[in-house]
Structure 1
Amino acid sequence: MTPVKDRLEHGGFLLFLAFISIGLMLIVSSFMGALLGAVLGALLFQPLFQKLLRRCKGRRNMAAALTLLIITIAVVIPALIITSLVMGQAAEVYDQIRGGQINFALYFGKLHSALPLRLQHWLDSSGFGSFDLVEERVSQAINNSVSLIARQALSIGANAASFLLAFGIGLYVMYFLLRDGEHIGPAILRALPIKPAIASRLAEKFVIVVRATIKGSGLVALAQGSLGAVTFWIVGLPAALLWGMLMVVAALLPAIGPAIVWGPVAVYLLATGAIWQAVVVVFSGMLVIGLVDNILRPLLVGRDTGIPDWMVLVTTLGGIELVGISGIVVGPVVAALFLTGWDILTEQRKVAP
């Protein structure tokens, strides 16, 4: 076989691989979220699987099945219960807004009147033109947000069959990833057209960031959201569980964090004349909820990810914009691989003659 023919056939084979890989991605694109969840779940619960594997004396099928059973009882069922409660509260808030029981424009008007005159004039002369327009836009944004949550609740009920199908596929794939993960991972690394040492380093960074993001950031966010929900319940805020869940999502963002939720809540309470309730929310947000991040995150995450906080924030927001809620993990993972890849290239250039 001539070198030209050999290169041509090799190039044709690589082209075939590219096209067939793109085709496979298109075919499974409808279940991409379920597959991604299966991969992340298998990585996160691999230590649990290994412990059960030792107790099951090497019976991998039984260990994988027990792992899925524990995940279902300890994680999936509570998450579904909480989600249903949150959706119910979102629908109630939406009905109260439509019925006029909650009037954000009125509350903003009260807050505006309570401000110093100089600050009132500055707000009136801002780019919005008048504070009435601010009220209108903010109220519209809040109405749209709550309406979106309510529509999502209805769509989940309408598409229950599709949700259950994707959920079942995710668990099914996770079973095999748990059982055969020790063989699948090395096989993928061997197939990559990258030097084994580099591929191993990138894979190690990938696993570290995924586990840190889910285990560390996820648990910190749940802790902060739970404290926020308790705080809102203490001060008598309607739909405390809903706002606590919103705080969980906000707490996944570094730097900004749960203040996105408890800050406006404190302003809302001030505008409605609930002074002591607002003080409690601010105190809890700054001293209790804020300290959770400083205490738990170093213990659960550490500094192994090696990603600057500003890059985590930007890539998380960008990931959410690009791929939805999965971007919470996808964004930091891409950032970590980007930094690791450039570090490897820099090291190679230093040792090159």
Structure 2
Amino acid sequence: MPDVFNNRLRQIILLIIIAFLLIALLTQLYAFLPGLLGAATLYILTRNWYHKLILKKRWKKGLTALLFILGSIIIISIPVYFSIKMVSPKINSLVNNQHEVMQGIQIFSDKIEAFTGMKIFTDENTKSVAAKISAAIPKLLNTTANVLTNLIMLFFLYYYLLVNGRAIEKYLGKIIPLKEENVDKLASETIVMIRANAIGIPIICIVQGIFATIGYLIFGVKDWGMWGFVTGVFAFFPLVGTMIIWVPLVVYLYSTGNNYTATGLMIYSIVVTGNVDYITRLGLLKKMGNVHPMITVLGVIVGLKLFGFMGLIFGPLLVSYFIILIKIYLNEFAEPTPATAEPSPKE
């Protein structure tokens, strides 16, 4: 008995030390978590192709991994490049013509006041908005630096996941304290959820960008193609993403006296663009991975807070893990009730 007690005590102490070190590491490396999650996403999406090339085609591991990294960089860089190329002239124009922008906002405010009797923007509010915009620029630069750092971390980890992926998978299978069938269930759930979100979300953005472009074209928005593309990019963020684009456009149209056009675009954006986002997001993700709509919505809300941009993919996975781990716990540890217990053989 003393030996058993001492073994248990050593086991508990060791687990406490491991948990403490894990928390300390996660706390210090939290800023790089999006890069880690992004590397895991790319690995899960491409692991089958990579293994076919190195096992069946006999390609070299390192060179094949570098080829996959190069392809990923190209795929990621294309929308980023076109976004910067299209949007940067507009940003420069806004920065160089802040007085005209504030004047347009004031005109819009005056029209709202004349219609409703409520004054949205005063001179103090306008100055406050300008000050907040100026203060946000350094934060934007810091965010850009953080994104670049996470991209470097992403591709660094992605390389080693590809080269050593099979060994890592075997190791994880050994250390996870569950039955083999439940480990397989976790693995399959991870693959299904990540594929559903990582592939489904870009498709959703394309669909929503197309419908937004049609709306901008119908209502005569200048540079409608550019604004439609940018709307599709911001559609990555559910519910409010496209509003970042079409709300300022509506305000601008009202400020320039195009009241009917502005009203039409606002109605179209709310009814068509917004509902296309909702219907496509929930319907497509459910079809691709049999993901329940509530898991998608709750997962995105939680994920964006915890993981930032990668929360769009891993938020629903986190909610799904919560549900499946409860099922696994019942399967692993719950004792059968008398009603479900197997009858003992007759003597």
Q: Structure 1 length as normaliser, TM-score?
A: 0.74
Post-superposition CA distance 1:267-291 (Å, at most 9, x none):
6534543234653564476457754
Change (3 A) 1:146 1:215: farther
* Pairing 1:31-46 to 2, within 5 Å after superposition: 31-46=32-47
| Cα distance in structure 2, aligned partners of 1:53 and 1:185 | 17
- How far did residue 218 of structure 1 move? 2.9
1:148-200: CA deviation from partner (whole Å, max 9, x where unpaired):
6644554467x4xx765543332121012123323312321321122332232
| Contact 1:319–1:331 (8 Å) recurs in 2 | yes
Residue from 125, 130, 135 that aligns with 2:121: 135
Give 2:107's aligned residue: 106
Provide the residue aligned with 1:209 in structure 2: 193
In the alignment, structure 2 segments of 5+ residues that lack a partner are 342-347
Residue 181 of structure 1 corresponds to which residue in structure 2? 165
The CA distance in 1 between the partners of 2:169 and 2:255, in whole Å, is 56
1:254-305 Cα distance to aligned partner (Å, 9 max, x none): 6x67467536644653454323465356447645775476568745651624
| CA RMSD of superposed structures (Å) | 4.0
Aligned equivalents of 1:202 and 1:144: distance in 2? 49
> Shift in Å at residue 66 of structure 1?
1.7
What's the offset of the Cα at 1:50? 4.3
Residue 5 of structure 2 corresponds to residue 21 of structure 1 = no
Contact 2:94/2:101 (<8 A) preserved: no
Contact 1:64/1:175, CA 8 A, preserved across alignment: yes
Question: Which of 226, 238, 250 lines up with 1:253 in the alignment?
Answer: 238
| Structure 1 residue 17 displacement after superposition | 1.7
CA distance in 2, matches of 1:293, 1:50: 36
Correspondence for 1:11:
12
TM-score w.r.t. the length of structure 2 is 0.75
Is this contact kept in 2: 1:96–1:102, CA < 8 A?
A: no
Partner of 1:103: helix, strand, or coil? helix
Q: Deviations over 1:8-48 (max 9, x none)?
A: 22222212322332333345334333222212222233344
Q: 1:128 matched to which residue of 2?
A: none
- Return the letter of the residue paired with 1:74: I
* Partner residue of 2:220 out of 208, 211, 235: 235
Give the secondary structure class of the aligned counterpart of 2:58. Answer: coil
- Name the residue aligned to 1:127: none
Please identify the structure whose Cα radius of gyration is greater: 2
Where structure 1 has 5 or more consecutive residues not aligned to the other structure, the ranges are: 125-130
User: Secondary structure, in 3 states, of the residue corresponding to 2:177?
Assistant: coil
Q: 1:21 to 1:57 in 2, by over 3 A?
A: same
> Residue 246 of structure 1: CA displacement?
5.4
Q: Is the 8 A contact 2:204 2:280 kept in 1?
A: no
Partner of residue 279 from structure 1, selected from 264, 269, 289: 264
Residue 203 of structure 2 corresponds to residue 219 of structure 1? yes
CA separation in 1, counterparts of 2:127 and 2:232? Answer: 21
Query: 1:17 corresponds to which letter in structure 2?
Result: I
Determine if contact 2:36/2:154 at 8 Å carries over to the other structure: yes
Quick one: structure 1 residues 308 and 332, their matched pair in 2 at CA, closer, same or farther if it must change by over 3 Å?
same
- Is the 1:229–1:240 contact (alpha carbons within 8 Å) kept by the matching residues of 2? yes
Aligned partner letter, 1:167: L
Q: In 2, Cα distance between the equivalents of 1:318 and 1:239?
A: 33
Post-superposition offset of 1:342: 3.0
* Count of aligned pairs between the two proteins: 333
Residue 2 of structure 1 and its aligned partner are, at CA, apart by: 1.3
Query: Cα offset for 1:100?
Result: 4.3
